[in-house]
């Protein structure tokens, strides 16, 4: 007799069974729910409803129903949210793969559909498996390789999340009771693995090479290893050096006041040093009462304030609080006629190409006294790579809103 993947006897691992699938399923139930929530929250942090430049997923329609004005407190809000999203996502990869492996015989079942309800169940399974793989793969590619997508990462990951999570909820509603029952039975059996009739169990099991607990240990060990080589990217100092798998982890990013993580360098962004010098660079600020142009020396003569704030990137890495010093955004607003409470602002940089060369900030972000057009960091001039002559820094905001090499600020309701 020849065995094909659609016949149960083809799959021979004695590890497959309700217990392993249930344990992995319960872990994913919690983990993926956290990924979904932190992901939606992370997207809200861009203030996508504010201006076209912030909106990474045009045509989101109803899916954007939950968006809200991103707050500025606590100042580590985005750092925490996106750090959890990325680190947890990476950590769950072995669990996801093991879960798929544990149910793989079911994915090959023939005929594809025995009835309408069976057809619907299989369709939801297709969305679940396809959606899950799609979300994990796009997420990992985004943190590892930047942009390898036709178009943008954001719409793909955002729409994919809704498709995946819808199928996930349907699946969880159907399967969680059985999963919990399986685990309870196992506990009642005093830790003994009860033999159960299940289509997951191979009808002609091969000899085991590892116990189920051992298999679970391997998965857990893999997750732990990924966690241990990723989580450090959210910290400075020795911990960052442990983030071997993170593109912005590994060795210390230089030393000195500007020795903290850089995303895009000035060279990468095409910032010509000739345009940032004292003679060439002017900040153009426009508002209700007109336009002013300020040199860096002019800015340095305005009241300067300090704020200790991190850089926190969508890729999951972040820095600890850096000590920034510069002009309050609300003071700049007041300079051009918005003394009575600042409006939104559109910030443009010297950069000519690239999707992060401009960003819009909401009135609540402009109003926060810690929101600065920074000239200095940690007691020194900004380095070219950190945005010299001047950059935005806003509490709790994603890195992408902290525009570097600022050239123009336009205040007014966007």
Residues that bind ligand MTE (CB under 6 A): 261-264, 269, 311, 313, 349, 351, 354, 356-357, 386-387, 399-400, 402-405
- Specify the residue, 168 or 356, whose C-beta has the smaller distance to Mo ion: 356
Q: Identify the CA nearest to 395 among candidates 76, 20, 132.
A: 76
DSSP per position, 106-118: HHT-SSS-SSHHH
Describe the crossing of helices 18-44 and 77-91 by its angle, rounded to 10 degrees.
150
Angstrom distances, CA of residue 160 to CA of 64, 132, 348, 398:
14, 8, 31, 21
Residues contacting residue 26 through CB under 8 Å, at least 6 positions apart: 176, 179, 180, 183
d(C-alpha 223, C-alpha 342), whole Å:
47
Instruction: Please count the other Cβ atoms lying within 10 Å of the Cβ belonging to residue 181.
Output: 12
**Residue 313 binds to Mo ion (criterion: CB under 5 A):** yes
Report which residue's Cβ sits closest to Mo ion: 313
- Specify the residue, 27 or 393, whose C-beta has the smaller distance to ligand MTE: 393
DSSP per position, 326-359: EEEHHHHHHHTT-TTS---EEEEES--SSTTSEE
Shortest Å distance, C-beta 408 to ligand MTE: 12
Which of residues 48, 310, 342, 399 is near Mo ion by CB under 5 A? 399
Shortest Å distance, C-beta 298 to Mo ion: 29
Tokens of 118: 């069976």
Residue 56 phi/psi, 5-degree rounding, is: -85, -10
Shortest Å distance, C-beta 109 to ligand MTE: 45
Residue 404's binding partner among ligand MTE, Mo ion, none (Cβ under 5 to 8 angstroms by kind) is ligand MTE
- Specify the residue, 201 or 400, whose C-beta has the smaller distance to Mo ion: 400
Residue 254's binding partner among Mo ion, ligand MTE, none (Cβ under 5 to 8 angstroms by kind) is none
Residue 326's binding partner among ligand MTE, Mo ion, none (Cβ under 5 to 8 angstroms by kind) is none
Secondary structure (3-state) at 5: coil
Shortest Å distance, C-beta 258 to ligand MTE: 9
Shortest Å distance, C-beta 173 to ligand MTE: 37
d(C-alpha 377, C-alpha 385), whole Å:
12
- Specify the residue, 44 or 103, whose C-beta has the smaller distance to ligand MTE: 44
Residues contacting residue 293 through CB under 8 Å, at least 6 positions apart: 282, 283, 284, 285
- Specify the residue, 134 or 154, whose C-beta has the smaller distance to ligand MTE: 154
d(C-alpha 402, C-alpha 392), whole Å:
5
d(C-alpha 272, C-alpha 389), whole Å:
12
Pairing of strands 406-411, 305-309: unpaired
Binding mask 198-217 for Mo ion (x = CB under 5 A): --------------------
- Specify the residue, 100 or 141, whose C-beta has the smaller distance to ligand MTE: 141
- Specify the residue, 106 or 264, whose C-beta has the smaller distance to ligand MTE: 264
Site size toward Mo ion (CB under 5 A) is: 3
Residue 285's binding partner among Mo ion, ligand MTE, none (Cβ under 5 to 8 angstroms by kind) is none
**Residue 179 binds to Mo ion (criterion: CB under 5 A):** no
**Residue 346 binds to Mo ion (criterion: CB under 5 A):** no
Shortest Å distance, C-beta 162 to ligand MTE: 24
Helix boundaries (H) for 229-313: 238-241, 296-301
Shortest Å distance, C-beta 241 to ligand MTE: 18
Angstrom distances, CA of residue 14 to CA of 157, 198, 210:
36, 12, 9
Shortest Å distance, C-beta 314 to Mo ion: 5
Shortest Å distance, C-beta 251 to ligand MTE: 16
Residues making contact with Mo ion (CB under 5 A): 313, 399-400
């Amino acid at each position: 007799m020849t065995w094909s993947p659609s016949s149960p006897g083809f799959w021979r691992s004695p590890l497959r069974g309700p217990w392993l699938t249930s344990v992995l399923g319960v872990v994913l139930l919690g983990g993926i729910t956290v990924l979904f929530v932190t992901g939606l929250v992370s997207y809200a942090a861009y203030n996508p409803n504010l201006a076209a430049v912030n909106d990474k997923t045009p045509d989101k329609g109803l899916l954007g129903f939950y968006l809200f004005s991103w707050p500025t407190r606590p100042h580590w809000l985005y750092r925490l949210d996106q750090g959890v999203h990325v680190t947890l996502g990476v950590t769950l990869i072995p669990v996801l793969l093991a879960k798929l492996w544990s149910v793989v015989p079911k994915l090959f079942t023939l005929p594809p559909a025995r009835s309408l309800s069976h057809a619907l169940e299989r369709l939801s399974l297709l969305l679940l498996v396809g959606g899950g793989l799609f979300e994990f793969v796009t997420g990992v590619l985004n943190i590892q390789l930047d942009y390898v997508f036709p178009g943008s990462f954001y719409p793909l990951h955002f729409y994919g999340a809704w498709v995946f999570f819808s199928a996930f909820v349907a699946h969880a509603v159907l399967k969680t009771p059985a999963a919990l029952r399986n685990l309870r039975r196992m506990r009642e059996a005093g830790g003994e693995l009860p033999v159960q009739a299940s289509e997951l169990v191979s009808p002609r099991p091969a000899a085991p090479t590892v116990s189920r607990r051992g298999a679970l240990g391997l998965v857990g060990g893999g997750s732990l290893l990924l966690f241990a080589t990723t989580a450090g990217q959210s910290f400075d100092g020795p911990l960052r050096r442990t983030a071997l798998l993170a593109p912005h982890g590994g060795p210390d990013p230089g030393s000195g006041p500007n020795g903290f993580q850089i995303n895009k360098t000035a060279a990468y962004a095409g910032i010509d040093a000739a345009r940032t010098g004292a003679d060439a660079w002017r900040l153009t600020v426009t508002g209700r009462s007109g336009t002013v142009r300020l040199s860096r020396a002019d800015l340095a003569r305005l009241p300067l304030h300090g704020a200790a704030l991190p850089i926190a990137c969508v890729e999951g890495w972040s820095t600890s609080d850096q000590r920034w010093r510069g002009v309050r955004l609300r003071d700049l607003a007041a300079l051009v006629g918005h003394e009575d409470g600042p409006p939104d602002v559109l910030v443009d940089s010297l950069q000519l190409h690239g999707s992060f060369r401009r960003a819009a900030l909401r009135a609540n972000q402009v109003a926060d006294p810690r929101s600065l057009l920074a000239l200095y960091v940690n007691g020194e001039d900004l380095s070219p790579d950190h945005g010299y002559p001047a950059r935005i820094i806003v509490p709790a905001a994603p890195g992408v809103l902290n525009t570097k090499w600022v050239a123009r600020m336009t205040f007014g309701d966007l």
